[in-house]
Structure 1
């Protein structure tokens, strides 16, 4: 597994405003959108392309075109939906699938409750959107779900991560080079309730205002 922490001053600035408990909901949504676009730029460095002839006003040249099959973007419900707009700004031709997983608050294990994905993902590059990498169980289960359906490689985009979650996912996927995790920051730890510290609160609640 490859871990990429996107160390950029604009990312750090936007993340700091997200963390602030007094940031209004509308501002929070807008910043998530902007931050995901910046993270997506880093996450798509290895997106597959193919050469294609382009006729400019001056001459013919060889340009670059997105290769088939197109990537698929997979927001993990519900908080991952808040990241979708920022991702699609960078990959407007990608397809979108949805995966619903929730954490059992007693066992901390991920439970699948919704699936709107193709049964066959053979050869597909998958980009998973989930704002919080906390215990790592949800992300590990999502990665398994996609590879079981034939995904070519999986890149996970998260706003923040806890060291415990990163460690679990690393152990789960081993030394697979086809798994990448891109985050804006790695925080200090998880608390006794498995919340990221210092974190930014519940991303879903701050995006949508519902419990």
Structure 2
């Protein structure tokens, strides 16, 4: 029986690299996969899944209005892989969960759990509830402890504590931190 998977971590843990490796493994075994990424992610161009280590692959995009029942209708693939899954809506996660179980094709979602304020993303919250399999991808904080949180910094490196959950464009950067470091500057 196919399942809905959620692979999550803080920033910079290699989620996109992991996803691209899974796609490569399926392809190496003669199996087709379908890749999706959020239309909000334009770091390497809209419609691409890219890792910070240089791997890159074209993908279909989704946004809050996308209907996965329509997008996946009649597809002939061995697996569906979704990057930036935190940007899914609750209803989209429900669609993916139902679809995986009805058509017996696994769906693997990769994303972060929370934003720079420590608030959950809607897609991640839904995945934590509905995913049949959860896996934390681990990464480390600058202090050496396991990073589980994310912070946003501005151009001069100062921490940003308020603002929109998703910032498109601009000079902001994100960094993974442990819980102790997350609360250090609050």
TM bin (shorter chain): 0.3 to 0.5
Between structure 1 and structure 2, the one with the greater Rg is: 1
Higher relative contact order (Cα pairs below 8 Å, separated by 6+ residues) = 2
The structure with the largest strand share of the pair is 1
The structure with the largest helix share of the pair is 1
TM-score (norm 2): 0.47
TM-score (norm 1): 0.43
